[in-house]
Structure 1
Amino acid sequence: MLNKLIPIALTGLLLAACGETSDSAKPPPPPKNFTAESKGYYCTMNLTEHVGGKAQIILESRPDEPVWFSTVNQAFGFTRHPGEPKDIAAIYVTDLGQPNPDNSWIDAKTAYYVIESKFVSGMKTVDSVPFSDLAKAEAFAKENGGRVIRFDEMPDEWIYK
């Protein structure tokens, strides 16, 4: 009897393994473009009033309503603050290496960031400057000071400066 159950059990396991893919295999939701009504999460000011990098976080619980940020560092702070939602589906930042960065969203986790530069954001604070192209990030850092890092290298002391 046991000899008959083993092949059945193995078949069941194989069929279960062929089922739906996990949520981590789903592609992230695409970025949204901000409008005149889009307001920064922390400052509640209109994003169109600010120059410089911007960010959006799309939550799994609110896929059609991005959380908007008028600076890049605010988005990093959101991801690290223990009181903020953790069901993050995607994080996008504007690519400041593009001619029209407000409509050029890139995956925040693949971007290059210039930090510690003399750049001042639209909120009149220091901010991280995101680029999709390493050469453009390096050129910006050479001209404006600072250094180039990746998403996972962002230091807390820079975010909360």
Structure 2
Amino acid sequence: MRGAILALLLLAACRTETAALPEPATMTESAVGHFCQMNVLEHPGPKGQIWLKDVLSPLFFSQVRDVVAYQRMPEQSHEIVVAYVNDMSQAPSWEHPGVDNWMRAEDAFYVVGSARAGGMGAPEIVPFSQRADADAFADQHGGSVMQLAEIPDSAALAPVGAEPESPQDQGDYAARLRALSNEVKP
């Protein structure tokens, strides 16, 4: 008898947790990007939203790249309940990615490293519900198709426009530091 009651309680807890996931919010004129504080509807490309535990409204993001960055930032302190991204398989266009075509971020196929910039001008990570749509986008605009866990941190966290230094640049940097050290003598 005790085992049956325990099993029912565990089953109820699982159902409660699943039911507790907030539904994605419709993007409206009042939706502003968490990082840029600009109206997200004024920018092209896919958007995202993240729901935090015990917070009644989502954080909106002007680019999907920012959603991935927020999830991976070490200083991010609130528990993420769910993240949603625009499903570009269902988007009317790049300029108007949709206000209600959301999908869970973990379920998307992403094109990483394409030539398309997102709403804030940074390289974009483009989500699709259909692998064939992601492949077609990558064929047209470049990039690689991958799932959320496969996206390298550098695709979301690297500064925009930052190019890796060549060994020659590193040597020049070291030479400049030595020159500065020689100039500043106590």
**Which bracket does the TM-score occupy, shorter chain normalised?**
0.7 to 0.9
Aligned: 1:39 with 2:29: no
SS in 1 for 2:84: strand
Moved over 4 A (4+): none
Moved more, 137-146 or 11-20: 11-20
1:102 to 98, 110, 114: 98
Matches within 5 A, 1:38-117: 38-62=31-55, 64-100=56-92, 101-103=97-99, 104-117=101-114
SS in 2 for 1:148: strand
Residues 101-150 of structure 1: per-residue CA shift (max 9 Å, x gap):
32211111100100011011121110101111111110000011101000
For the 8 Å contact 1:92–1:105, the answer to whether it is kept is yes
Aligned-partner Cα distance in 1 for 2:137–2:120: 20
Deviation, structure 1 residue 24: 4.5
Moved more, 35-44 or 15-24: 15-24
For the 8 Å contact 1:114–1:137, the answer to whether it is kept is yes
SS in 2 for 1:44: coil
Aligned: 1:18 with 2:8: yes
Aligned-partner Cα distance in 2 for 1:18–1:85: 33
Percentage of matched positions with identical amino acids: 33
Q: Which runs of 5+ in 2 are unaligned?
A: 159-186
> Which residue is 1:140 aligned to?
137
Normalized against structure 1, the TM-score is what? 0.86
Q: Which runs of 5+ in 1 are unaligned?
A: 1-10
> Which residue is 1:121 aligned to?
118
Aligned-partner Cα distance in 2 for 1:77–1:86: 14
Q: Which has the higher helix share?
A: 2
CA 91–17 in structure 1, closer or farther in 2 if over 3 Å, else same: same
Normalized against structure 2, the TM-score is what? 0.75
Aligned-partner Cα distance in 2 for 1:50–1:146: 22
Residues 63-105 of structure 1: per-residue CA shift (max 9 Å, x gap):
x310110010111111111222342111100012224332211
Counterpart residue identity of residue 44, structure 1: Q
For the 8 Å contact 1:79–1:86, the answer to whether it is kept is no
Counterpart residue identity of residue 54, structure 1: K
